[in-house]
């Protein structure tokens, strides 16, 4: 059973980065006050112009640092599990405890959506658009390595998200559309993002189904 990391957990490095960025962005503003138009700090003086440029530069750097800190916090919040193979996943929703767990050799039925670049990136395929679930046998080579590994251990009725590196997907060749050259649908070297819902499992221990 996999549980999500706390949404309030923030890594110490992210907090340090954020504080430094705020300090850098605020420090130059103290020196921007002007006594008169004829002083070096006059808005039209070369010194004042240089200071404004420096402040903008510091603010930009501070914004980038804050952006990196927010990204780190977001990744911590999602609570991805990384397996020894490099597959990343987390459970959006766990299946009910009474439902069956998928194992290698089981025939499963899934709903899935796949994206390039990120979970809000370009969608390259979805069984939901066709309203037809995909059926496959785990461990048979019918699915890419990342999905084959990630579906194993899921409980019927659960929804899981995956980040699948190229080595566990389509590698350097990518995946072609029907009749097209390789990589026309999924470019070579692509990291894939999937959301999968396990609808049913049929194995030696019986049938599990979740509508």
8 is catalytic: no
Which is catalytic among the residues 89, 162, 170, 175? Answer: 170
Neighbours of 27 (CB within 10 A): 12
Q: Where does the chain have alpha helices with state H?
A: 12-26, 46-78, 127-130, 145-151
170 is catalytic: yes
Residue 53's nearest CA partner among 86, 73, 78, 28 is 28
Are the CB atoms for 184 and 176 separated by under 8 Å?
Answer: yes
> What 3-state class would DSSP assign to 149?
helix
Which is catalytic among the residues 89, 162, 193, 194? Answer: 194
124 is catalytic: yes
Measured distance CA(207)–CA(187) in Å, rounded: 37
Are the CB atoms for 150 and 160 separated by under 8 Å?
Answer: yes
Which is catalytic among the residues 76, 80, 111, 124? Answer: 124
125 is catalytic: yes
Measured distance CA(9)–CA(3) in Å, rounded: 14
Which is catalytic among the residues 144, 164, 186, 193? Answer: 144
Which is catalytic among the residues 112, 162, 175, 193? Answer: 112
Neighbours of 86 (CB within 10 A): 12
Measured distance CA(52)–CA(46) in Å, rounded: 10
Active-site residues, by number, are: 112, 124-125, 144, 170, 194
């Amino acid at each position: 059973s996999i549980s999500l990391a706390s949404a309030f957990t923030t890594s110490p490095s992210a907090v340090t980065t954020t504080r430094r960025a705020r300090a850098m962005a605020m420090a130059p503003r103290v020196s921007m006050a002007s006594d008169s138009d004829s002083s070096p700090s006059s808005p039209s003086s070369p010194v004042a112009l240089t200071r404004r440029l420096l402040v903008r530069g510091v603010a930009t750097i501070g914004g980038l640092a804050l952006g990196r800190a927010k990204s780190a916090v977001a990744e911590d919040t999602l609570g991805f599990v990384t397996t020894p193979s490099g597959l990343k996943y987390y459970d959006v929703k766990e299946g009910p405890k009474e439902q069956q767990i998928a194992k290698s050799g089981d025939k499963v039925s899934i709903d899935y959506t796949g994206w390039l670049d990120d979970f809000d990136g370009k969608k390259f395929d979805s069984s939901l658009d066709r309203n037809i679930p995909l059926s496959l046998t785990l461990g048979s080579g019918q699915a890419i390595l990342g999905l084959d590994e990630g579906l194993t251990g899921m409980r019927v009725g659960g929804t899981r998200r995956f980040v699948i590196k190229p080595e566990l997907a389509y590698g350097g060749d990518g995946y072609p559309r029907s009749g097209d050259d390789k990589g026309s649908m999924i470019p070579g070297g692509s990291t894939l993002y999937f959301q999968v819902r396990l609808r049913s499992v049929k194995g030696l221990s019986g049938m599990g189904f979740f509508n």
